[in-house]
């Protein structure tokens, strides 16, 4: 029972730089995935509004697939299945980024869609009547108004991607959790190593959440 | 693309995959029921006038919603069990992890539903001589159910998605069986595609059910 476990917090303290390096990988991979997810998500969202049944159907299906498959399943599918099927041989990092970009795009697409829908369609018609091109209408009229509404939900997508990113250790990318597992393997300190991961991770998520709130405030009162 | 597909390997493993799926459903459903009950308790604590309780419930929701299921399940299964000397089966560890995580999500669902009921209704029922308990059970709860049930159903889809991670602590769920079979037959593309399709189908069916219920309940309540 409790009390028999020999705490060795020194193991964690000694390997602090290693763990933080791993946390850094989690963070930047999620950010890269997030940027790609936003771009792809915007394409999906605009595709759904395109008015061509084929394109909007494809966009809707891809969105649904991206949201419906567990990230872990998709990671193994991309890394071991798809890469062999295509004969491409993705590196582990590439596989992770692909999965984050695609799953994130599914959520981002829905957010963009509701953001775009929230702008009254009369504005679209009015701008078109004034002679603006479709592209200009989106760029100068619709997107600036939607942007304020989608900041917070998009922030949640980034946090979600950061959570999924922790799975990358499964395909041997040395992220924080993977490194902690290595430390545990060498020193047998599972509680200390994984608690450290937990604490760092919670700190990262809280920091991100505070940042999102700050950005949102800034956009409300420019 | 010279990859030659061979789906017979999947067919040969179908009984094992079905067994895995059954295990996935068992874990998910058990965790779901626990999370639905625990989530309600947390929500009621969060709304309680006693500051200490509501603060504790608030901390609970913030903390558990910030963590990835993978970090969390590893921390419980490999870390916490060592310290406490508890011997958890993979099934128990999976159920506990998913329950704690999703009860935090669900408590927010309950809370926002309960808070959406106008306060005037409570005052009116107190004015009519109904007690606190009667007011909650007869006035607030029926309206909350209409709001909450569709989201409760969608949450089950999320739990199924999250449950794929339990394969990583050795629970023999659908994903674990898929990984085992894929490694055995060198048919990773076929096996991971199969798993992805199964998860996708379950998630789509369950979320459609949620949407259907939402429309039904809205119609019958107005």
Question: Does position A202 have pLDDT exceeding 90, yes or no?
Answer: yes
DSSP H helices, A119-170, are 121-129, 134-136, 143-165
Mean pLDDT of the B25-50 span = 95
Q: What is the ipTM of this complex?
A: 0.88
Q: What is the DSSP string of chain B?
A: --PPP-THHHHHTHHHHHHHHHHHHHHHHHHHHHHHHHHHHHHHHHTSS-HHHHHHHHHHHHHHHTS-HHHHHHIIIIIIHHHH-----HHHHHHHHHHHHHHHHHHHHHHHHHHHS-HHHHHHHHHTT--HHHIIIIIIHHHHHHHHHHHHHHHHHHHHHHHGGGGGGT---HHHHHHHHHHHHT-HHHHHHHHHHHHHHHHHHHHHHHHHHHHHHHHHH-
A-B CB pairs within 8 A amount to: 131
Chain B (119-138) residues lying within 8 Å, Cβ to Cβ, of chain A: none
| Cβ neighbours of B177 (radius 10 Å) | 23
- Taking the Cβ of residue A190 and every Cβ of chain B, the question of whether any pair is shorter than 8 Å is answered with yes
Question: Does the beta-carbon distance from A194 to B70 stay under 8 Å?
Answer: no
The percent of residues in chain B predicted with pLDDT above 70, rounded, is 98
- Taking the Cβ of residue A63 and every Cβ of chain B, the question of whether any pair is shorter than 8 Å is answered with no
A162 vs B contacts (CB less than 8 Å):
68
Domains of chain B with bracketed CATH: 14-221 (1.10.3720.10)
Q: Say which residue, B31 or B140, is predicted with more confidence.
A: B31
Question: Does the beta-carbon distance from A70 to B72 stay under 8 Å?
Answer: no
Which residues neighbour B32 within 8 Å (Cβ) at sequence distance 6 or greater? B102, B155, B156, B159
Identify the pLDDT of residue B71: 93
DSSP H helices, chain A, are 9-14, 16-48, 53-68, 71-76, 83-86, 92-118, 121-129, 134-136, 143-165, 176-187, 190-220
B102 vs A contacts (CB less than 8 Å):
none
**Closest in B71, B83, B190 to A197, CB measured:** B71
Give the span between the Cα atoms of A39 and A37, in whole angstroms: 5
Quick one: A217 exposed, middle or buried, by C-beta within 10 A (0-12, 13-18, 19+)?
A: exposed
Each domain of chain A, given as residue ranges in start order, spans 9-220
- Taking the Cβ of residue A200 and every Cβ of chain B, the question of whether any pair is shorter than 8 Å is answered with no
**Closest in B70, B84, B195 to A167, CB measured:** B70
Return the residue of A nearest to B176 by Cα. Answer: A73
**Considering only CA atoms, which of B141, B41, B161, B175 is closest in space to residue B100?**
B41
- Taking the Cβ of residue A87 and every Cβ of chain B, the question of whether any pair is shorter than 8 Å is answered with yes
Place of tokens 């991979």: A29
Question: Does position B1 have pLDDT exceeding 60, yes or no?
Answer: no
Identify the pLDDT of residue A88: 84
Which residues neighbour B120 within 8 Å (Cβ) at sequence distance 6 or greater? none
Quick one: A108 exposed, middle or buried, by C-beta within 10 A (0-12, 13-18, 19+)?
A: buried
**Closest in B63, B85, B189 to A2, CB measured:** B85
Give the span between the Cα atoms of A208 and B65, in whole angstroms: 13
Question: Does position A110 have pLDDT exceeding 60, yes or no?
Answer: yes
Question: Does the beta-carbon distance from A177 to B79 stay under 8 Å?
Answer: no
Quick one: B47 exposed, middle or buried, by C-beta within 10 A (0-12, 13-18, 19+)?
A: middle
The percent of residues in chain A predicted with pLDDT above 90, rounded, is 60
Identify the pLDDT of residue B2: 67
Question: Does the beta-carbon distance from B67 to A82 stay under 8 Å?
Answer: no
Q: Report the Cα–Cα distance between both ends of chain B, in Å, rounded.
A: 56
Q: Which one of 3.40.30.10, 3.40.430.10, 1.10.3720.10, 3.40.50.10860 gives the CATH number of domain A9-220?
A: 1.10.3720.10
Chain centre to alpha carbon of residue A1? 40
Question: Does the beta-carbon distance from B70 to A181 stay under 8 Å?
Answer: no
Q: Say which residue, A97 or B214, is predicted with more confidence.
A: A97
Question: Does position A1 have pLDDT exceeding 50, yes or no?
Answer: no
Mean pLDDT of the A42-52 span = 90
- Taking the Cβ of residue A5 and every Cβ of chain B, the question of whether any pair is shorter than 8 Å is answered with yes
Q: With contact defined as beta carbons under 8 Å apart, do A95 and B186 qualify?
A: no
Identify the pLDDT of residue A119: 83
Return the residue of A nearest to B203 by Cα. Answer: A68
- Taking the Cβ of residue A4 and every Cβ of chain B, the question of whether any pair is shorter than 8 Å is answered with yes
Question: Does the beta-carbon distance from B3 to A86 stay under 8 Å?
Answer: yes
- Taking the Cβ of residue B52 and every Cβ of chain A, the question of whether any pair is shorter than 8 Å is answered with no
- Taking the Cβ of residue A144 and every Cβ of chain B, the question of whether any pair is shorter than 8 Å is answered with no
pLDDT tens digits for range B153-190: 989 999 999 999 999 998 999 999 999 999 888 888 99
- Taking the Cβ of residue B70 and every Cβ of chain A, the question of whether any pair is shorter than 8 Å is answered with yes
**Closest in A77, A193, A201 to B192, CB measured:** A77
pLDDT tens digits for range A118-159: 888 888 889 888 988 888 888 888 888 888 888 889 999 999
- Taking the Cβ of residue A9 and every Cβ of chain B, the question of whether any pair is shorter than 8 Å is answered with no
**Considering only CA atoms, which of A87, A5, A192, A198 is closest in space to residue B79?**
A192
B28 vs A contacts (CB less than 8 Å):
none
Place of tokens 């459609």: B208
Longest Cα–Cα distance in chain A: 77
Task: Give the closest-approach CA distance of B189 to chain A in angstroms.
Answer: 4
């Amino acid at each position: 029972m409790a009390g028999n476990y020999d705490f060795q917090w020194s193991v964690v303290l000694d390997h602090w730089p290693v763990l933080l390096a791993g946390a850094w990988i989690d963070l930047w991979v999620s950010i890269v995935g997030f940027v790609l997810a936003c771009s792809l998500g915007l394409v999906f969202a605009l595709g759904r509004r395109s008015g061509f049944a084929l394109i909007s159907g494809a966009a809707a299906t891809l969105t649904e697939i991206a949201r419906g498959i567990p990230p872990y399943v998709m990671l193994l599918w991309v890394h071991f299945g798809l890469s062999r099927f295509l004969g491409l041989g993705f590196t582990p990092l590439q596989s992770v980024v692909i999965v984050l970009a695609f799953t994130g795009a599914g959520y981002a697409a829905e957010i963009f869609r509701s953001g775009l829908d929230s702008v009254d369609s009369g504005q679209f018609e009015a701008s078109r009547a004034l002679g603006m091109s479709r592209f200009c209408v989106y760029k100068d009229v619709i997107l600036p108004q939607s942007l304020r509404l989608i900041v917070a939900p998009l922030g949640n997508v980034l946090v979600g991607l950061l959570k999924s990113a922790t799975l990358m250790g499964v395909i041997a990318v040395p992220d924080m959790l993977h490194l902690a597992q290595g430390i545990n393997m060498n020193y047998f300190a599972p509680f200390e190593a994984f608690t450290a991961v937990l604490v760092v991770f919670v700190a990262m998520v809280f920091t991100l959440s505070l940042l999102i709130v700050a950005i949102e405030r800034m956009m409300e009162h420019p | 693309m010279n990859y030659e597909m061979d789906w017979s390997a999947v067919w040969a493993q179908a009984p094992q995959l079905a067994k895995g799926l059954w295990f996935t459903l068992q874990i998910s459903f058990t965790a779901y029921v626990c999370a639905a009950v625990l989530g309600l308790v947390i929500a009621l604590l969060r709304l309680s006038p006693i500051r200490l309780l509501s603060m504790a419930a608030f901390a609970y929701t913030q903390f558990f919603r910030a963590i990835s299921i993978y970090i969390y399940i590893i921390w419980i299964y490999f870390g916490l069990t060592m310290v406490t000397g508890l011997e958890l089966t993979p099934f128990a560890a999976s159920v506990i992890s998913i329950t704690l995580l999703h009860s935090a999500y669900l408590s927010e669902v309950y809370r926002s539903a309960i808070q959406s009921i106008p306060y005037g209704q409570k005052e009116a029922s107190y004015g009519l001589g109904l007690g606190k308990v009667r007011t909650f059970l007869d006035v607030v709860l029926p309206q909350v159910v209409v709001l909450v049930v569709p989201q409760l159903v969608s949450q089950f889809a999320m739990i199924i998605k999250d449950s794929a991670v339990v394969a990583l602590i050795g629970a023999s769920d659908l994903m674990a069986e898929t990984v085992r079979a894929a490694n055995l037959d060198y048919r990773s593309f076929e096996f991971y595609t199969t798993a992805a399709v199964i998860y996708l189908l379950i998630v789509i069916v369950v979320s459609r059910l949620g949407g259907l219920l939402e429309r039904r309940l809205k119609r019958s309540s107005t």
